[in-house]
Amino acid sequence: MGSNCDYTKAVFDHFQNPRNMGEIEDADGVGTVGNPSCGDVLKVMLKVDGDKISDVKFQTFGCAAAIASSSMMTTLVKGKKISEAKKITNKDVAAALGQLPPIKVHCSNLAADALQKAIGDLK
Amino acid sequence: MRIYLDNAATTKVYPEVAKKVNEIFLKSYGNASSLHSVGREARSELVKAREEIAKFVGCDSKEIVFTSGGTESNNLAIRGLAPMNPDKKHIVTSVVEHPSVLETCKYMGKWGYEIDYVGVDSEGIVDVKEVEKLIRDDTLLVSVMHVNNEIGTVQPVEEIGKVCKKKGVYFHTDAVQGFSKVDLDLGNIDLMSVSGHKIGAPKGVGFLYVKNGTKISPILNGGGQENGLRSGTENVPGIVGLATALDVSVDKKKIKKSRDKIIAGLKKIKGVKINGSMKNRVYNNVNVSFYGIEGESLMLMLDKDGIYVSTGSACASTKLKESYVLKAIGAEELYVHGSIRMTLGEDVVGNEDFVVGKIEEKVNKLRKISPFKLELENE
């Protein structure tokens, strides 16, 4: 435990008040990553308007860091051009959250992975 | 409101213990090995505490070896027995032991010992017959815990002790979670580990009960304290604190009623499973799994509202692994990660509905976030 499990204020904020949580029924792109046996499953849904991401929603089964990373990732993506969203990496998500405990860094990886998978799913 | 439901992790020191320990710190601060009056005063406190503890345990005061706590006691039992019995190279333990037993056994494996792990049933109970089958001619000892730290299951240690006695092998029990909570007859138990901070005494003190005639070798060498079995200046304040804690009466019946009320309330939530045995369970343990959510998230949400629980699963313990205890009892994947443990103290009494209500609220919130909620509705 100890410092390894200490979260930043931003992590707590996004965990307690997740942004863009929910579903898009007629999503243009969906990306799901993770595995229930590992304790993390992230699903990202995108709606596009021209070359822009007009809406994004997520659903996450996972720890506080996984939920916060998902939420933060959606705020980085919403309203962005698809070409810009493609450049978003786990480092961007982790940086936006301040810092993640080393053992939780994989949670930010998953958020970025789910996003890229959803972008890849766009028609 | 603050409701502390993590008494299996550690307890608040009882006020009367804190007072007594403070007194020792300030008045009987001598080294119990010193010959002058200050030392003698500390020594007499130590002797008195040892006798009180032995009386509580129901043993001879010579059978108590004070240590720094549960981990050291478990290490001393297993690693201490080995050099006294060099021909015995086999250990039997269970899959649900505390890491301080499992890791010590693993360490013994590096020194040529063969370890056999007895499994558990769906309630987390060790099969005594299986233990018997695993015992060999070269078995050094059997080590099975008294009460499981995660799911609170009480193991049939007295029966296992009988089998060990019959087979002529040593039997050690890690009683850190059961001592003073669940009665235990030491008749067939050779070694028993106890920790102070689980029962209202300070951290950093505990003991190993070593039955007369059981020969162990020290793992800490030095000044020869504790009959040469545990060198190091005696932690007199801690030891006196431990003896004082045993004097404090705990209303187990009241807490058990609270536990049952909480369990009954939790069972009304959809997609819930109570882990462990309802019959053979320590009076203050609740271990519950919720479908489709993750335990650390639930713990942190409850934390915000002043309810302090723990999770044996995944992320909370810095090890990104699901609980090996819940896995051993065959809990399903989507439940295993969504488990929390509540180990009750007296402050929960009267607040059961509040606790259950908050848990339900947080579970619903997390299920809204989770992609697995639909499957639950189809259940």
- pLDDT tens digits, one per residue of B288-330: 999 999 999 999 999 999 999 998 644 434 445 678 999 899 8
Average pLDDT taken over every residue of chain B: 95
pLDDT of residue B183: 97
What CATH class is the domain B251-377?
A: alpha beta
Out of B297, B333, B368, name the one closest to residue A36 (CB).
B333
pLDDT of residue B321: 67
Q: Where are the domains of chain B?
A: 15-245, 251-377
Per DSSP, B10 falls in state -
Out of B304, B318, B368, name the one closest to residue A4 (CB).
B318
Per DSSP, A35 falls in state E
**A99 close contact with B: CB closer than 8 A:** no
- Give the separation between CA B83 and CA B101, rounded to whole angstroms: 17
**A30 close contact with B: CB closer than 8 A:** no
Inspect the interface and report whether the beta carbons of A63 and B322 lie closer than 8 Å: no
| A8-45 confidence digits (pLDDT tens) | 999 999 999 999 999 999 999 999 999 887 788 999 99
Q: Per-residue pLDDT for B375 more than 70?
A: no
Q: Per-residue pLDDT for B220 more than 60?
A: yes
- Give the separation between CA A14 and CA A7, rounded to whole angstroms: 11
β A29-35/A40-49 pair status: antiparallel
% chain B with pLDDT above 70: 96
From residue B335, how far is each of B75, B295, B339, B365, B375 by CA, in Å? 33, 9, 7, 17, 13
Query: CATH classification of B15-245, choosing from 3.40.50.300, 3.40.640.10, 3.30.1490.20, 2.40.50.140?
Result: 3.40.640.10
% chain B with pLDDT above 90: 92
**A102 close contact with B: CB closer than 8 A:** no
pLDDT band at B160 (very low <50, low <70, confident <90, very high): very high
| A69-101 confidence digits (pLDDT tens) | 999 999 999 999 999 999 999 999 999 999 888
Report which residue type is found at B223: G
| B98-142 confidence digits (pLDDT tens) | 999 999 999 999 999 999 999 999 999 999 999 999 999 999 999
One fold for both B15-245 and B251-377?
no
Asked whether A57 and A74 are in contact (CB, 8 A), the reply is: yes
pLDDT of residue B313: 45
Q: Per-residue pLDDT for A118 more than 70?
A: yes
Inspect the interface and report whether the beta carbons of B318 and A16 lie closer than 8 Å: no
Say what the alpha-carbon torsion angle B117, B118, B119, B124 is, to the nearest 10 degrees: -110
Q: What is the ipTM of this complex?
A: 0.90
Out of A22, A60, A103, name the one closest to residue B320 (CB).
A103
Out of B315, B333, B372, name the one closest to residue A37 (CB).
B333
Active-site positions of A?
Answer: 38, 107
Question: Higher pLDDT residue, B347 or A106?
Answer: B347
Question: Higher pLDDT residue, B221 or B374?
Answer: B221
| A47-76 confidence digits (pLDDT tens) | 999 999 999 999 999 999 999 999 999 999
Q: Per-residue pLDDT for B8 more than 50?
A: yes
- Nearest-Cα distance to chain A for B297, in Å, is 5
pLDDT band at A4 (very low <50, low <70, confident <90, very high): very low
The domains of chain A, with CATH numbers, are 2-120 (3.90.1010.10)
Contacts of A4 in chain B (CB under 8 A): 318
Contacts of B296 in chain A (CB under 8 A): 63-64
- Chain A interface, mutation test: which of B10, B293, B296, B333, most A Cβ atoms within 10 Å? B296
